C-alpha cells in the first residue's frame, strides 16, 4: 500500500490510500474550516485506513503548502494574466469547434476570464455539483437514509406468519457487505443479522420489496439504453444493493435492481439463520406492518463526498429525489430536477436547466458562469463545505486519480480539485485551484461539440488548462 502525501493549496492536504479509496481532506477556506470545526464526534469523517501505515511517499508537484494560511492570501490575479495563461491551452484543436470557459476569484467573486461564460452548454457530470449543493442545503449534512424491514404478521416462538417487507429508503450505497471503504455503507448482512436478533427464525412467506418512496423506476430523458448494460447507472429505484450491480465482476447493472436486491436480502437472511421461502416480489407494506430491523446510510455530507469523488450517477439521482421529497415534489426525474433548481435558487444562484440530476442526459444545459458562481459560494459557505471536500484531487483521488500524471498537466497534481464530466461529444471540468502566487480561483471549462474520438484528448487538454492556472501568478 502506498501513502500519497500532497498539498492541495488552501483547500487542504490529501492522503490517498491506494486500494481502499480512502481520502482525508484537510480544511481550507472559511466555509470548509467552519464545517470541519462544527462536526460532532458521532458523525463519521474521512480518516486513514486502520491498516498499518505505508512508508512510500509520492512527492508533491510544489513545495508543501502551509495549511494555516489564509485562503487567497496572495496578490490578486488580473484578467490579463489569466488570459495569458489560458491562451495556449484553450486554443488546441482537440477541444473541437467550441470551448467555453469562466474563471473567477474565489474570495471576491470577480470574473477574471469569460469566454462564452453565459453560453448554455452540456455539463455532463459537472451537473452533480448542483445536486450536491441542493442535497446539503435541503437535507442537511447530518441526515441519514434508512432501509427498514417490516413484518406483515405476528412473530410467535420465532415464526413470522406472513412476509418480510423491505422498505427502500433511497440509499443506493446499500451494500451486500459493509466492506472497509469510506464512507462505510449500510449492509444487507447487518440488516439480516438484526432481523434474526429481533427473534425472527422462520418466515412462512417471502420477501416483498417496497420501492414506493420513489416514483416508478426508469431511465432518464435522453439516456442511452446501454448505460445499464455497460454499468454506468441502474434504473432509478428506492431499493437497490451495490448500485444494482450484478454479483459477477465486471458486469453491468440489473434491469430490475429492486428485485435483484430483494433476492440478495433473501440470501443474506438465510445466511443469518432465518428460514424463508424463495418468493421475492414487489409490493407495498400494508397498514399495521411492524418494523423488525433497520440500517442507516452514512450522513448526507459523506454521501455527497462519495458522489462527487466517484461521480456516482445512482447516488446523484437518489439524493435529488430526497430533495424533491423535502420540497413536496414528485420523486421522478422532472420532480427531482425541479427540486434541485428551486434549491439552487434558494442559495441565491441562477438555477441550471436540468432534466436529470447526474448529468448523463445530453439535454441538460448549464453555463460555465453558473458553475463558477456555485463553486465560489461553496468555498465560503460552511453548509456546502462537503462539496469542496468531495471534489477529486488531481492525480490522487476519484475520477482524477489517473490524470495529471505526465506532461504539462503533471505540475498541477495535488493542486487542482475538480469535478470531471464526459459524454460522447462532451468534455467538462469545473473546480478550484490555487495559483503560484497563492490566490484561490474557481473555474469551469466546457467543450461540448467534440467528435467522439476527441473526448479523451479534450479531457487531457482541459487538465492542461487547469494546470496553467496553478502555475501562473496571473498578476
**What average pLDDT score do residues 174-186 get?**
88
Q: Which three cell numbers stand for residue 41?
A: 464526534
- pLDDT tens, position by position, 272-288: 999 999 999 999 999 99
Beta bridge partners of 10: 8
Could you count the other beta carbons within 10 Å of the beta carbon of residue 21?
17
Can you point out the beta strands (E) in 9-83? Answer: 12-17, 22-25, 57-58
* Omega before 183 within 30 of 0, i.e. cis: yes
Q: Are 445 and 69 in contact (CB under 8 A)?
A: no
User: Could you confirm whether domain 146-298 is CATH 3.50.80.20?
Assistant: yes
Judge whether residue 118 has pLDDT over 50: yes
Fold annotation for 79-140+301-309+352-471: Beta-lactamase (3.40.710)
* Amino acid 71: pLDDT: 52
Cα separation of 78 and 81, whole Å? 5
Please give the span between the terminal C-alpha atoms of the chain, in angstroms, as a whole number: 41
Could you count the other beta carbons within 10 Å of the beta carbon of residue 209?
26
Q: Considering the entire predicted model, what is its pTM?
A: 0.87
Beta bridge partners of 4: 16, 58
For residue 127, is it left (φ>0), alpha (ψ between -120 and 50) or beta? alpha
Cα separation of 106 and 375, whole Å? 8
Judge whether residue 160 has pLDDT over 90: yes
pLDDT-derived band of residue 181, with 50, 70 and 90 as boundaries? confident
Cα separation of 323 and 282, whole Å? 25
**What average pLDDT score do residues 68-86 get?**
78
Catalytic site positions:
125, 128, 311
Q: Are 396 and 411 in contact (CB under 8 A)?
A: no
Q: For the packed helices 333-346 and 128-139, what is the interaxial angle rounded to 10 degrees? A: 70
Q: Which residues contact 50 (CB under 8 A, 6 or more apart)?
A: none
Amino acid at each position: 500500500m502506498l501513502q500519497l502525501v500532497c498539498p492541495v493549496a488552501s483547500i487542504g492536504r490529501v492522503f490517498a490510500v491506494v486500494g481502499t479509496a480512502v481520502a482525508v481532506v484537510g480544511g481550507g477556506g472559511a466555509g470548509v474550516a467552519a464545517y470541519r470545526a462544527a462536526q460532532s464526534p458521532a458523525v463519521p469523517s474521512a480518516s486513514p485506513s486502520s491498516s498499518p501505515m505505508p512508508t512510500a511517499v509520492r512527492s508533491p508537484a510544489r513545495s508543501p503548502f502551509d495549511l494555516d494560511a489564509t485562503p487567497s492570501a496572495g496578490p490578486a490575479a488580473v484578467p490579463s494574466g489569466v488570459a495569458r495563461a489560458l491562451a495556449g491551452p484553450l486554443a488546441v484543436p482537440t477541444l473541437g469547434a467550441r470551448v467555453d470557459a469562466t474563471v473567477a476569484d474565489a474570495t471576491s467573486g470577480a470574473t477574471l476570464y469569460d469566454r462564452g461564460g453565459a453560453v448554455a452548454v452540456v455539463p455532463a457530470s459537472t451537473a452533480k455539483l448542483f445536486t450536491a449543493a441542493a442535497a446539503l442545503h435541503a437535507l442537511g449534512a447530518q441526515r441519514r437514509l434508512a432501509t427498514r424491514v417490516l413484518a406483515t404478521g405476528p412473530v410467535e416462538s420465532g415464526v413470522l406468519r406472513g412476509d418480510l417487507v423491505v422498505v427502500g429508503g433511497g440509499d443506493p450505497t446499500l451494500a451486500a457487505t459493509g466492506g472497509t471503504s469510506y464512507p462505510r455503507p449500510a449492509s444487507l448482512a447487518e440488516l439480516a443479522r438484526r432481523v434474526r436478533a429481533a427473534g425472527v427464525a422462520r418466515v412462512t412467506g417471502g420477501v416483498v420489496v417496497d420501492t414506493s418512496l420513489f416514483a416508478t423506476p426508469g431511465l432518464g430523458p435522453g439516456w442511452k439504453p446501454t448505460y445499464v448494460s455497460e454499468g454506468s447507472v441502474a434504473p432509478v429505484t428506492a431499493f437497490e444493493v451495490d448500485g444494482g450491480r450484478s454479483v459477477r465482476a465486471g458486469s453491468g447493472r440489473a434491469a430490475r435492481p429492486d428485485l435483484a436486491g430483494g433476492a440478495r436480502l433473501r440470501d443474506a437472511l438465510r445466511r443469518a439463520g432465518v428460514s424463508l421461502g424463495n418468493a421475492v416480489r414487489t409490493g407495498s407494506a400494508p397498514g399495521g406492518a411492524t418494523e423488525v430491523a433497520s440500517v442507516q446510510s452514512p450522513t448526507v455530507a459523506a454521501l455527497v463526498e462519495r458522489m462527487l469523488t466517484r461521480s456516482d450517477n445512482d447516488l446523484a439521482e437518489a439524493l435529488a429525489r430526497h430533495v424533491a421529497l423535502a420540497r413536496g415534489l414528485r420523486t421522478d426525474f422532472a420532480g427531482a430536477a425541479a427540486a434541485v433548481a428551486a434549491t439552487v435558487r434558494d442559495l441565491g444562484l441562477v438555477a441550471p436547466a436540468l432534466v436529470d440530476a447526474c448529468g448523463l442526459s445530453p439535454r441538460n444545459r448549464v453555463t460555465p458562469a453558473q458553475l463558477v458562481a456555485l463553486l465560489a459560494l461553496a468555498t465560503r459557505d460552511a453548509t456546502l463545505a462537503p462539496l469542496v471536500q468531495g471534489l477529486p484531487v488531481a492525480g490522487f483521488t476519484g475520477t482524477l486519480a489517473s490524470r495529471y500524471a505526465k506532461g504539462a498537466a503533471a505540475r498541477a497534481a495535488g493542486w487542482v480539485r475538480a469535478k470531471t464530466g464526459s459524454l460522447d461529444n462532451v468534455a467538462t471540468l469545473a473546480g478550484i485551484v490555487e495559483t503560484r502566487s497563492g490566490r484561490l480561483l474557481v473555474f469551469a471549462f466546457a467543450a461540448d461539440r467534440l467528435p467522439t474520438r476527441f473526448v479523451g484528448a479534450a479531457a487531457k487538454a482541459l487538465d492542461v488548462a487547469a494546470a496553467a492556472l496553478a502555475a501562473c501568478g496571473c498578476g
